[in-house]
Amino acid sequence: MKKKEYAPYKEYIRTDRNGTKYYNERVDCGRCGGTGFYGPIQVFNGECFDCNKRGWVIAETKEYTPEHRAKLDAKAEAARAKKTAEHLAHIPAENAAFMWRKFEGHDHICAILGKTYELKDELKAEGCFYRGEFDGWCAYETKRPCVKVPVDDLIETTDSGWVRLRDDGAVIVRALKEIAEKALRPVSEHVGKVGERITCDIVVEDVFSYKCKSFAGYGMETRYINKFRTADGNILVWQTSAPADEKATKITGTVKAHDDYKGEKQTTLQRCKLG
């Protein structure tokens, strides 16, 4: 919004012992910035209450002599230097306290692999702890499958010397966990022949959903991609209109296609039945 124009006004008041001159002067309103409007339009049409929509207020202003201005600047610089020195003196102790609070003196953290939600009570009893900033359950020492992440990869030092957690710490841990989990998984191979009816023992590994146009021809519907893994480590995929039962242990279906997703072989099924 454009600033309002107004006639200049400046009235001398007095001069103090330092030679500073005081004036009553017409200046831009500090609330609305000189526009005369501030706040929602529903409240008095958005008019600024400080300047009564004029865009200016009468305020006391000062004119310093060059000598006094230099003296004030030197005083302010000394105060800033003192505050900076005090600030820097506290940094080592504060950083040490931060590192102990976050890592208890350890140089690494163990990110637990696999689906941990069902095991949360067991993990807690074993001394593990949940850390959202590191993408899940962690420990300092554990016998469970995990990936060790150096603390130095999870922290950074600011320009002022403070140590803090990296904003992308969860991304780093998640990437390392994905690499480790992929290395532990058996290599997936294609199952059966296209058109063949097969039956496999499985575990439900994941369920994804997405929106698409309804087969009825109008509106939208939710489709589910059900991902299974066989006892041999092979991946089976079944797209349907309902999520798979997580307790399912067996699947019977017709092989629709042999696909490859992100370098991993998977078999797409249709007309499936879970058991």
Q: Is the pLDDT of residue 1 over 90?
A: no
Q: Are residues 209 and 168 in the same domain?
A: no
Q: What are phi and psi of 37, to 5 degrees?
A: -130, 135
> What mean pLDDT is predicted for residues 154-162?
91
For 119-137, what is each residue's pLDDT tens digit? 899 999 999 999 988 889 9
Query: What is the residue whose two structure tokens read 């067996």?
Result: 250
Q: Are residues 106 and 173 in the same domain?
A: yes
Burial 136-162 (b: 16+ CB within 10 A, else e): bbbbbebebebbebeeeebbeeeeeee
CA 110, distance to chain mean position in Å, is 21
94 within some domain = no
51 Cβ neighbours under 8 A, 6+ residues apart: 29, 31, 32, 36, 57
Q: Are residues 152 and 220 in the same domain?
A: no
Say if CB 165 and CB 155 are below 8 A apart: yes
Categorize the per-residue pLDDT at 186 as very low, low, confident or very high, splitting at 50, 70 and 90: confident
What is the pLDDT, as a whole number, of residue 19?
94
Residue 125 tokens, joined: 């009893």
Predicted TM-score (pTM) of this structure: 0.56
Q: Could you tell me where the DSSP H helices lie in the chain?
A: 66-103, 120-125, 169-184
> What mean pLDDT is predicted for residues 200-213?
91
What is the pLDDT, as a whole number, of residue 202?
94
CA 202, distance to chain mean position in Å, is 35
Q: State what percent of residues in the chain have pLDDT above 90.
A: 74
Residue 94 tokens, joined: 């504060």
Q: Is the pLDDT of residue 219 over 90?
A: no
Say if CB 252 and CB 198 are below 8 A apart: yes
Query: Of the candidates 10, 66, 69, 58, which has an alpha carbon nearest to the alpha carbon of residue 30?
Result: 58
> What mean pLDDT is predicted for residues 237-259?
93
Distance CA 116, CA 266 (A): 25
Residue 117 tokens, joined: 């939600």
236 within some domain = yes
3-state secondary structure 88-115: HHHHHHHHHHHHHHHHCCCCEEEEECCC
Q: Are residues 113 and 135 in the same domain?
A: yes
207 within some domain = yes
What is the pLDDT, as a whole number, of residue 12?
95
- Highest average pLDDT, of 41-45, 158-162, 268-272, comes from 268-272
Distance CA 201, CA 250 (A): 4
∠ at Cα 21 (20, 23), nearest 5°?
145
Q: Are residues 120 and 167 in the same domain?
A: yes
Q: 198: how many CB neighbours lie within 10 A of its CB?
A: 17
> What mean pLDDT is predicted for residues 32-41?
88
39 Cβ neighbours under 8 A, 6+ residues apart: 46, 48
Q: 200: how many CB neighbours lie within 10 A of its CB?
A: 20
For 52-68, what is each residue's pLDDT tens digit? 999 999 999 999 999 99
Residue 7 tokens, joined: 């006639």
Residue type, 127: G
* Sheet order of strands, 56-63 included: 10-15, 21-28, 56-63
Q: Are residues 215 and 267 in the same domain?
A: yes
201 within some domain = yes
2 within some domain = no
80 within some domain = no
Q: Is the pLDDT of residue 42 over 90?
A: no
95 within some domain = no
> What mean pLDDT is predicted for residues 228-250?
92
Residue 121, classed as helix, strand or coil, is helix
What is the pLDDT, as a whole number, of residue 80?
94
Q: Is the pLDDT of residue 140 over 80?
A: yes
Say if CB 269 and CB 254 are below 8 A apart: yes
Q: Are residues 137 and 202 in the same domain?
A: no
The count of domains in the chain is 3
Structural domain span for residue 55: 10-63
